[in-house]
Structure formats: structure tokens, C-alpha cells
Amino acid sequence: MTDVMVSVRMPKSLVSELKALAKEQHFLDLSEEIRSIVRKKWIQYTNPELFELKKLRESIEDEIKRKSVEKVREEVNKELERIRLQLKKEDMLNG
């Protein structure tokens, strides 16, 4: 595969937004982010079924992660409540 350099014109405001997004999503540089966007769009237009399946998989993964975080948060809250009650009980016995 041979690399080809492509020049793209875009408004400064869009470049600023893309740079901020690239930093947020941990891309090495703007060109890496643009390649990623082009790749996603290419898949979307050349194979829409595959694109929809990939989107569904990502959505399911996000939901699983969200539920896992909620469950951990709930467990931490329960443990903190147990500790608070234990400290309160010890304080009443010592006080």
C-alpha cells in the first residue's frame, strides 16, 4: 500500500473543533482523526449492514460498561454506609 497525501480545506472553526476532539479521543494528530472519520464513513457507505452491526455492538458495549460502573458505584455506596454505621456504633460505645 502506498501512502498518498491529500490536502483538505476547511474553516478554522472546524479545525479547532477537530483538534479539541482529537485530543479528547487520544488521537496522535489531526490526520489520524480524519483518517478514522473517513474510514468510518467509507464503511457506512460501502457496507451499511456491517456499519449498523458495528454501531449496535458499540452501543451494547457502552451500555454494559455503564451498568458495570453503576453496579460498582452502588457497592461502594453500600460499603461506605456500613462503615459509617460501624463508626457511629463504635462512637456510641466509646462516648
CA distance 66 to 63: 5
Task: Show pLDDT as tens, one digit a residue, over the chain (95 residues).
Answer: 788 888 989 999 999 999 999 999 999 999 999 999 998 898 888 988 988 898 899 999 999 999 999 999 999 999 999 999 999 988 888 86
pLDDT at residue 91, as a whole number:
84
Instruction: Quote the Cα angle for 23-25-31, to 5°.
Output: 65
pLDDT at residue 3, as a whole number:
87
pLDDT at residue 1, as a whole number:
72
pLDDT at residue 40, as a whole number:
86
